[in-house]
Structure 1
Amino acid sequence: MQFNAEDIYRLNLTLQTKSTSLAFGRALYAFEYEQQQYWLKTQAPNVNPYYEAGFLNELAFYQQCIEQQSCTDFLLPFQIMPDVNILAEQHVSGRAALIVRHADVLLHDCSALSIQEMQKILLQVLNAVDQLHQFGWIHADLKREHLVQYQQKVCLIDFEHVQEINSQIVLQSLTATPRYMAPELFHGAEKTVQTDIYALGVIIYEWLTGQRLTAKNYQEWAYLHCQRLTIELPEHFLLFKRLLDGMLAKQKEYRFANIYTLKQCLMTEIV
């Protein structure tokens, strides 16, 4: 994928940004090029430091992927445009733009799937996250909509919160979504491989039950994750319970330590 300025200038960009994000300088556009769907994201500088930090963090991650050329399997086709000032007439402003291919959300209603089909999907998800971890990064903001399907493979999107494993740099302004936060994060702990695993556990649990966890505010989410959450599965999905117990353990020492042990559980418990 390699767009030039003239390509972008001729496009019919459709603004898709939520009003709150737009007020903070974020702009997200959808466009079509040669019958393919794409997204273009940019951030106006000096409007909101938190949004700007997230965008620059994502650009830096993608740039490292370009330089090392070793982590593209779990990424959608993308391109970084370093200067979008020439797009002023398209009402695009910012220091740089990120262009990413469109892909469909992966996890839909699983009620019609066989156990084997579900196992295959989950292994693909775990492989994608494992590749990210093996590359030395945690996603730090995994949620259902960040798992997509592209050309028969599972990809990850939205890397604004991504950080290096065991990084000493804590992005204080970039917090995870409370729905997917591991208990220790509510106590100010750093994000780790195990907090990614917990978030995946919430995603999988909601997928299996067909119901979303509910809470009214941050305090209720903290109470849910730290004390109240219990795993209740339909009878035909009980074979996934040990997997979820290991992903959603409230104490880190009882949670799966890495994706490898998680995959071993998935492959040995479900036959």
Structure 2
Amino acid sequence: MSSITWIFDSNIQLDELKLRTKSQSYAYGRRLYTFQIGADAYWLKFHLANTNQTLYAAFQHELSFYQSFSKNKISFLIDHQIIDFEQQGTVLRDLGEGNGLVLWDSVPFFTDLSTFKTLETIKQMIQQALNSLGELHQMGWIHGDLKVEHFRLYKNTCRLIDFEQSLQLHHQTHNLNATPHYMAPELFHGKNKSVQSDLYALGIILYEWLTQMKLRANSYHDWAVLHCQQLQLQVPKQLEPFLPLLKGLTQKHSEQRLCSVLDAQVLLNDINLLQK
């Protein structure tokens, strides 16, 4: 549920309205702005009609996702507001048409690991990320395009953003719009997205966070080879207690991978036993 009520005040003044869209996305019609109202910062996201229809449809899908939760208090979402540009003051009305999505500002959830002094703190961070993803799954949805920047810290808890590729559980789709960097092996073979493909993506995110190293590949084919054949997990010795979880999340064959967030939480809780 949104807590943003100021947006319907046509007299409000927006400070430091700044375009943040990447050049290629801008050419396709995507618009992403940051702005301030007083001391509070926000993001505004929308897509121009009559441009790239695939991206336009994806954004409309994201708006529908947020609207489906409009009457509920959902702890994995950042406070937000869907706005109608025609009902806004001049500054916003001149930006676009139709609807836009306003999100309260947040910061990256997975930051420099050197700021975390104990394994227990790291475990708590992973637990928060699992809690957010688990709630999404329990609500009957798959994210479909998890990447590290989609985990955000907001009001001292882990939240999720960017639901353009989200889909309901058991929804059959051959739409493989996902980021190869985090794609589960079965997706490269044309299989449907699932809870387990979300879990695989989280496993890659956690692996890169714990090792503070990015996986590298030069092409879609190279990413496919890496995920389907070459991925071998190695972590610093002090972080080896997390290996069972990482391996469970990133098994190449989905039938051998962890089946749910709950399974991942069980493995994570076992880390306490390993530290005794």
Answering whether residue 176 of structure 2 is matched by residue 194 of structure 1, we say: no
Letter in structure 1 aligned against 2:216: T
Go from structure 1 to structure 2 and tell me whether the alpha carbon gap of 1:246 and 1:35 turns closer, same or farther (over 3 Å shift): same
Which of 47, 61, 65 aligns to 2:65? It is: 61
Residue in 2 that maps onto 1:220: 222
Which of 130, 145, 153 aligns to 2:157? It is: 153
CA contact (8 A) 1:37 1:101 kept: yes
How far did residue 83 of structure 1 move? 3.7
Structure 1's unaligned 5+ residue stretches are none
Q: Distance in 2 between matches of 1:11 and 1:106?
A: 26
Q: Deviations over 1:66-105 (max 9, x none)?
A: 04x15x2011100001344866765411311100011000
Answering whether residue 45 of structure 2 is matched by residue 41 of structure 1, we say: yes
Answering whether residue 92 of structure 2 is matched by residue 108 of structure 1, we say: no
Answering whether residue 106 of structure 2 is matched by residue 97 of structure 1, we say: no
Residue in 2 that maps onto 1:21: 25
CA contact (8 A) 2:11 2:89 kept: no
The DSSP-based 3-state class of the residue aligned with 2:33 is: strand
How far did residue 132 of structure 1 move? 0.4
Which of 137, 143, 146 aligns to 1:139? It is: 143
CA contact (8 A) 2:8 2:87 kept: no
Letter in structure 2 aligned against 1:109: D
RMSD (Å) for aligned C-alpha atoms: 1.7
How far did residue 9 of structure 1 move? 6.5
Letter in structure 2 aligned against 1:98: L
How far did residue 165 of structure 1 move? 0.7
Give the % identical residues. Answer: 38
Q: Distance in 2 between matches of 1:62 and 1:23?
A: 25
Q: Distance in 1 between matches of 2:241 and 2:186?
A: 27
Q: Distance in 2 between matches of 1:7 and 1:101?
A: 20
Q: Deviations over 1:224-259 (max 9, x none)?
A: 000000111111111111101100000011100000
How far did residue 8 of structure 1 move? 6.1
Residue in 1 that maps onto 2:235: 233
Structure 2's unaligned 5+ residue stretches are none
Q: Distance in 1 between matches of 2:245 and 2:262?
A: 12
Residue in 2 that maps onto 1:252: 254
Go from structure 1 to structure 2 and tell me whether the alpha carbon gap of 1:51 and 1:5 turns closer, same or farther (over 3 Å shift): farther
The DSSP-based 3-state class of the residue aligned with 1:93 is: coil
TM-score, length-scaled by structure 1: 0.94
Q: Distance in 2 between matches of 1:5 and 1:22?
A: 28
How far did residue 7 of structure 1 move? 4.9
Q: Deviations over 1:108-143 (max 9, x none)?
A: 121342100000000000000000000000111111
CA contact (8 A) 1:84 1:97 kept: no
